[in-house]
Amino acid sequence: MGDAALSSALIRQDVLPLAVGYALLMAALAAGLVLSLRRPAVPGQRPSPAASAASAVSAASADSAAGPAARGWLRLVRHVAGTAVGGYLLLMAVVVGYYFGVARVSGNFIEGAFTGCALLIGLSSPVFAAATWLVVRRRPSGNDR
Amino acid sequence: MAQHPVLGYLVWAVLFGALFAWEGLALSHLSGVPTLSATFRAIMRYPFGRWALFALWLWFGWHIFVRGWHFLLRA
């Protein structure tokens, strides 16, 4: 089978169903997020660490002092980095365990998992950082939601 | 490339259908079932939950965007 046919089959049978499922899941999550933002907050509910870190960044940005803002950003960076590193290591442990314990997948599966996931983190992290910075910058002062 | 049986597609369709039916039920507020976002929020309170969700996101992202793709500058 040629490369073109292989690519076509790969896109039709694997990439397309996964992409459609991913888009549907993200759309459902976005709808839930929009609905929860429209609803008033439940009294006594604690915000997530990421939300409180972003709020700290936002609140600190309104101040003229650079110290609190730096602490807010540092807290957010530490939270995101901890999640990314922990998730990456967990996935690599599962991949290695699956490869050696269940099925020996042919090709450079493990190498692809290590480098591909690292590449994905490397590409998405700057985008996430830029998006966070834009959200904090556009947020009116005093609005911590 | 091996042909996949129709049953496999049907199983995936039923699983996704059940997932979205659950989410629709939760968003309609007709029952006390939590939404996916509420579920994820509860999971993400704990570091291991965040790691597991991020690992899942990485797994999907790797398969969808990275694996099997040839970038322009790749030999």
Over residues B11-61, the pLDDT tens digits come to 888 888 888 888 888 887 777 788 888 888 998 999 999 999 999 999 988
- Residue A81 binned pLDDT confidence (cut-offs 50, 70, 90): very high
Instruction: Name the residue with higher pLDDT: B64 or A5.
Output: B64
The verdict on residue B16 lying in a domain is yes
* Count of domains observed in chain B: 1
Question: Which chain A positions have a beta carbon within 8 Å of B45's beta carbon?
Answer: 48
CB B36 within 8 A of CB A32: yes
CA distances from B9 to A21, A96, B1, B14, B18 (A): 13, 28, 16, 9, 14
Name the packing angle between helices A49-62 and A109-138 (round to 10°): 40
Contact B47 A82 (CB under 8 A): yes
CB B60 within 8 A of CB A22: yes
* Residue-range definition of the domain harbouring residue B28: 6-66
Contact A113 B62 (CB under 8 A): yes
Q: What is the DSSP string of A124-141?
A: HHHHHHHHHHHHHHHSPT
d(CA A117, CA A119): 5
The verdict on residue B15 lying in a domain is yes
Contact B58 A36 (CB under 8 A): no
For an interface test with A, the pick among B10, B44, B45, B66 (most A C-beta atoms closer than 10 Å) comes out as B66
pLDDT of residue A85: 95
Closest residue to B37, CB basis, from A15, A19, A32:
A32
B23 to chain A, any CB pair closer than 8 A? The answer is yes
d(CA B36, CA B16): 13
Contact B1 A120 (CB under 8 A): no
The verdict on residue B1 lying in a domain is no
d(CA A31, CA B23): 10
Return the beta strands (E) in A5-98 as ranges. Answer: none
Lowest mean pLDDT among A21-30, A119-128, B12-21: A21-30
Burial of A120 (0-12, 13-18, 19+ CB in 10 A): buried
Torsion angles phi and psi, residue A139, rounded to 5: -70, 130
The verdict on residue B36 lying in a domain is yes
The verdict on residue B75 lying in a domain is no
Does residue A64 surpass a pLDDT of 60?
A: no
Q: Rounded mean pLDDT of A23-35?
A: 72
Contact B60 A18 (CB under 8 A): yes
d(CA A82, CA B73): 31
Q: Rounded mean pLDDT of A76-91?
A: 93
The verdict on residue B30 lying in a domain is yes
- Residue A43 binned pLDDT confidence (cut-offs 50, 70, 90): low
Lowest mean pLDDT among A113-117, A121-125, B34-38: B34-38
- Residue A140 binned pLDDT confidence (cut-offs 50, 70, 90): confident
